[in-house]
Amino acid sequence: MSIHGIANVCSQLVNCSMARGALVSIPYTKLHLAIMLGLYRHGVVSAVNLGGQYGPHLTPQAIETEPVSSRRLWITLKYKDGTPVLKNAGLVMASKDFFEMKRFELVALLHGATVKRMRPIAPGELLFIKTDKGILEGREAAAIGRGGQALCRFST
Protein backbone atom coordinates (compact mmCIF):
# COMPACT_ATOMS: atom_id res chain seq x y z
CA MET A 1 0.00 0.00 0.00
CA SER A 2 1.51 3.30 -1.07
CA ILE A 3 1.10 6.35 1.14
CA HIS A 4 2.13 8.56 -1.77
CA GLY A 5 -0.45 6.97 -4.06
CA ILE A 6 -3.32 7.75 -1.70
CA ALA A 7 -2.00 11.29 -1.11
CA ASN A 8 -1.81 11.92 -4.87
CA VAL A 9 -5.36 10.66 -5.39
CA CYS A 10 -6.68 12.88 -2.59
CA SER A 11 -4.96 15.97 -4.00
CA GLN A 12 -6.07 15.19 -7.57
CA LEU A 13 -9.70 14.88 -6.50
CA VAL A 14 -9.66 18.13 -4.52
CA ASN A 15 -7.80 20.07 -7.22
CA CYS A 16 -10.15 18.94 -9.97
CA SER A 17 -13.27 19.61 -7.90
CA MET A 18 -12.08 23.13 -7.04
CA ALA A 19 -11.26 23.75 -10.72
CA ARG A 20 -14.79 22.51 -11.60
CA GLY A 21 -13.46 19.61 -13.67
CA ALA A 22 -15.89 16.91 -14.72
CA LEU A 23 -13.57 13.91 -15.01
CA VAL A 24 -10.52 12.86 -13.02
CA SER A 25 -8.14 10.13 -14.10
CA ILE A 26 -6.27 8.24 -11.37
CA PRO A 27 -4.07 5.12 -11.53
CA TYR A 28 -5.94 1.83 -11.27
CA THR A 29 -5.16 -0.14 -8.12
CA LYS A 30 -7.43 -2.29 -5.97
CA LEU A 31 -7.00 0.18 -3.11
CA HIS A 32 -7.96 3.20 -5.23
CA LEU A 33 -10.92 1.29 -6.66
CA ALA A 34 -12.20 0.38 -3.17
CA ILE A 35 -11.93 3.98 -1.94
CA MET A 36 -13.60 5.40 -5.06
CA LEU A 37 -16.45 2.88 -4.84
CA GLY A 38 -16.90 3.93 -1.20
CA LEU A 39 -17.14 7.57 -2.30
CA TYR A 40 -19.65 6.53 -4.96
CA ARG A 41 -21.78 4.62 -2.42
CA HIS A 42 -21.87 7.71 -0.19
CA GLY A 43 -22.81 10.08 -3.03
CA VAL A 44 -19.58 12.07 -3.25
CA VAL A 45 -18.81 11.14 -6.87
CA SER A 46 -21.23 10.49 -9.72
CA ALA A 47 -19.50 7.59 -11.46
CA VAL A 48 -16.44 5.34 -11.36
CA ASN A 49 -15.38 3.89 -14.72
CA LEU A 50 -12.49 1.71 -15.81
CA GLY A 51 -10.50 2.84 -18.78
CA GLY A 52 -7.19 3.49 -20.39
CA GLN A 53 -4.97 6.51 -20.66
CA TYR A 54 -7.19 8.17 -23.29
CA GLY A 55 -10.52 7.94 -21.47
CA PRO A 56 -13.07 5.61 -19.95
CA HIS A 57 -14.17 2.55 -21.90
CA LEU A 58 -17.53 3.17 -23.55
CA THR A 59 -18.34 -0.53 -23.84
CA PRO A 60 -17.89 -3.07 -21.09
CA GLN A 61 -14.65 -4.91 -21.64
CA ALA A 62 -12.12 -6.62 -19.44
CA ILE A 63 -9.52 -4.29 -18.04
CA GLU A 64 -7.01 -7.10 -18.35
CA THR A 65 -6.75 -6.30 -22.08
CA GLU A 66 -5.08 -2.96 -21.21
CA PRO A 67 -1.38 -2.88 -20.40
CA VAL A 68 -0.87 -2.53 -16.64
CA SER A 69 0.87 0.83 -16.99
CA SER A 70 -2.08 2.43 -18.81
CA ARG A 71 -4.98 1.17 -16.67
CA ARG A 72 -6.86 4.11 -15.19
CA LEU A 73 -9.93 4.82 -13.11
CA TRP A 74 -12.04 7.65 -14.48
CA ILE A 75 -14.00 9.43 -11.75
CA THR A 76 -16.95 11.70 -12.58
CA LEU A 77 -17.16 14.40 -9.91
CA LYS A 78 -20.46 15.55 -8.47
CA TYR A 79 -21.63 19.15 -8.14
CA LYS A 80 -24.70 20.61 -6.44
CA ASP A 81 -25.87 24.06 -7.56
CA GLY A 82 -22.47 24.69 -9.12
CA THR A 83 -20.47 23.94 -5.97
CA PRO A 84 -18.41 20.77 -5.61
CA VAL A 85 -19.73 18.09 -3.25
CA LEU A 86 -16.16 17.13 -2.32
CA LYS A 87 -14.61 19.93 -0.27
CA ASN A 88 -11.42 18.43 1.14
CA ALA A 89 -9.50 15.17 1.22
CA GLY A 90 -6.36 14.02 2.93
CA LEU A 91 -4.38 11.27 4.58
CA VAL A 92 -4.76 10.24 8.19
CA MET A 93 -1.15 9.75 9.26
CA ALA A 94 1.16 9.85 12.22
CA SER A 95 4.87 10.16 11.46
CA LYS A 96 4.94 8.40 8.08
CA ASP A 97 2.56 5.64 9.14
CA PHE A 98 -1.20 5.18 9.24
CA PHE A 99 -3.14 5.08 12.52
CA GLU A 100 -4.03 1.61 13.76
CA MET A 101 -7.41 1.85 15.48
CA LYS A 102 -9.20 -0.70 17.60
CA ARG A 103 -12.97 -0.95 17.39
CA PHE A 104 -13.60 1.02 20.59
CA GLU A 105 -11.23 3.79 19.44
CA LEU A 106 -13.06 4.04 16.13
CA VAL A 107 -16.43 4.25 17.88
CA ALA A 108 -15.11 6.98 20.19
CA LEU A 109 -13.78 8.94 17.21
CA LEU A 110 -17.12 8.68 15.43
CA HIS A 111 -18.91 9.88 18.58
CA GLY A 112 -16.83 13.05 18.84
CA ALA A 113 -13.78 12.17 20.94
CA THR A 114 -10.20 12.92 19.95
CA VAL A 115 -8.31 9.64 19.57
CA LYS A 116 -4.52 9.41 19.10
CA ARG A 117 -4.27 13.13 18.29
CA MET A 118 -6.82 12.67 15.48
CA ARG A 119 -9.70 15.13 15.47
CA PRO A 120 -13.23 13.70 15.59
CA ILE A 121 -15.23 12.96 12.47
CA ALA A 122 -17.52 15.90 11.66
CA PRO A 123 -20.99 15.51 10.13
CA GLY A 124 -20.63 15.00 6.39
CA GLU A 125 -17.11 13.65 6.71
CA LEU A 126 -16.02 10.18 5.60
CA LEU A 127 -13.15 8.17 7.07
CA PHE A 128 -11.90 5.12 5.20
CA ILE A 129 -10.50 2.21 7.20
CA LYS A 130 -8.52 -0.80 5.93
CA THR A 131 -9.96 -3.79 7.81
CA ASP A 132 -9.72 -7.54 7.44
CA LYS A 133 -13.01 -7.27 5.49
CA GLY A 134 -11.55 -4.80 2.98
CA ILE A 135 -11.73 -1.02 2.73
CA LEU A 136 -14.75 0.28 4.64
CA GLU A 137 -16.06 3.66 5.67
CA GLY A 138 -15.62 4.29 9.41
CA ARG A 139 -19.31 3.98 10.28
CA GLU A 140 -19.59 0.71 8.34
CA ALA A 141 -16.52 -0.70 10.11
CA ALA A 142 -17.89 0.30 13.53
CA ALA A 143 -21.28 -1.23 12.70
CA ILE A 144 -19.74 -4.65 12.04
CA GLY A 145 -17.37 -4.33 14.99
CA ARG A 146 -14.08 -3.96 13.13
CA GLY A 147 -11.08 -1.74 13.69
CA GLY A 148 -8.18 -1.26 11.32
CA GLN A 149 -5.84 1.16 9.66
CA ALA A 150 -7.22 4.67 9.16
CA LEU A 151 -6.28 5.66 5.59
CA CYS A 152 -7.91 8.90 4.48
CA ARG A 153 -10.78 11.26 5.20
CA PHE A 154 -13.03 13.23 2.86
CA SER A 155 -15.11 16.30 3.71
CA THR A 156 -18.36 16.99 1.88
**Residue range 8-40, pLDDT digits in tens:** 999 999 999 999 989 999 999 999 999 999 999
Radius of gyration for the alpha carbons in the chain, expressed in angstroms and rounded: 16
Q: Are residues 51 and 22 in the same domain?
A: yes
Residue 23 lies in a domain: yes
- In which domain, by residue range, is 8 found? 3-81
Q: Are residues 76 and 97 in the same domain?
A: no
Q: Count Cα neighbours of 49 within 13 Å in the Cβ-side half-sphere.
A: 20
Q: Are residues 22 and 50 in the same domain?
A: yes
Count how many domains the chain has. Answer: 2
pTM score, two decimals? Answer: 0.90
Task: Return the pLDDT at 62.
Answer: 62
Residue 86 lies in a domain: no
Q: Are residues 52 and 97 in the same domain?
A: no
